[in-house]
Amino acid sequence: MKSIGVGLLGLGTVGTGVVKILKNHQDKLMHQIGCPIEVKKILVKDIKKDRDVEIDSSLLTTNVNEVIEHPEVDVVIEVMGGVEETRKHILTSLKNKKHVVTANKDLVAVYGSELHAAASENKCDLYYEASVAGGIPILRGLVDGLASDKITKLMGIVNGTTNFILTKMSKNGSPYQEVLAEAQQLGFAEADPTSDVEGLDAARKMAILATLGFSMNIDLADVSVKGISSITEEDLNYSKRLGYTMKLIGIAQQEGDKVEVSVQPTLLPDDHPLSAVNDEYNAVYVYGEAVGETMFYGPGAGSLPTATAIVSDLVAVMKNMRLGVNGQSVVTPQYEKQLKDRAEIYSKHFLRIHVKDQVGSFAKITTIFSERGVSFEKILQLPLKQKDLAEIVLVTHTASLKDYEDILGHLSDSDVVAQVKSSYRVEGDGVK
């Protein structure tokens, strides 16, 4: 078989990693697919820029058409980022009968169904393992490894930046802004960290995971999102006292025909496997009816881990080429999307409130909960420096989101509640 021609859109951190792996692992790749891989053209912004990989300058171009219309390019690898312009380039590549591998979760989360349709129509492959959790083979695990099982729940840490921040805040007692600045210095957080810290990056990944896990078209707008920027040292300290660890958790859960998908700060029991996932690492916990519980763990970002996932997709494309089955791996979602409403979403909740330190205050608060059938699992009551206020920290038993939000509204309106300080979802029982 002739060599496989590859064109790259982008030569940044991840693109450089791809080139390094293709150079350094050529023997292994040859053994896997039976033919050499040749990089034919690479789209860059600046041809003269210094790079930490040795590459023939004749392969570089600033004209995207020289890549996506190159007659010897069989596979286009997209690592340039962006959405609208990149979507056009990928659609053109597919129309030109080029297979596509991408690491672009923003693009896949928004335009995944359109790109899949174009790939199928043109008998091309479209792979995006690197779009979720970097070097962890979670998408391939869902699509191939767990293909025979029915997935009921996906729960995980899918953003390394927020996990790094929460780890440092929890272990060192450092304030949020200080740790965020450290994350930016180390390159874990962007200059504008909004997408990471407000949960948008994780939400895009959860939309992709839920779509594949439940075989249902889940859009980004279907994901309920809350970030970490309002988490305080007090929240983390109380979580520890109650036997929990705080993480930004993506949850996708199916019961019957209906699903819920969210990203939010969540209290996990200290002995839960995800509680031990620290710093920039990612992990996804998968619940299947047959397999039970499995966990995928590893580096969620970085040049070589992400590039490893991209080249693994490239190998899959080339194996399909040898078998003559390109474009046949796309399986359209089997089920129509049905989302739970708030009365159907159940969990425990952590709540921290400041109340007037007077006789009858706690009784009034208890009444607000009991009228909606919600009881307490754990309670801490502590005096505050202000002599007229006390702090109540509690974890509820399982309640519907509708009832709990109704309770929050009534607490805010209560004449004995000075302030609802914080509220978070709780999974499982805290370690005693």
The residues carrying an active-site annotation are 205
Largest CA distance in the chain: 84
Angle among Cα 336, 339, 341 to the nearest 5 degrees reads: 150
* Secondary structure tally for the chain: helices H, strands E: 14, 17
Q: Is 347 exposed, middle or buried (0-12, 13-18, 19+ CB in 10 A)?
A: buried
> Token pair for residue 13?
């951190």
Check: CB of residue 298 under 8 Å from CB of residue 13.
Answer: no
Residue tagged 């697919």 (tokens): 33
Cβ-based neighbours of 301, under 8 Å, separated by 6 or more: 134, 160, 188, 280, 282
CA–CA distance, 83 with 131 (Å, rounded to integer): 13
Following DSSP, what letter does each residue of 305-364 receive, concatenated?
A: HHHHHHHHHHHHHHHHHHHT-TT------SB---B--GGG-EEEEEEEEEEE-STTHHHH
DSSP state of 367: H
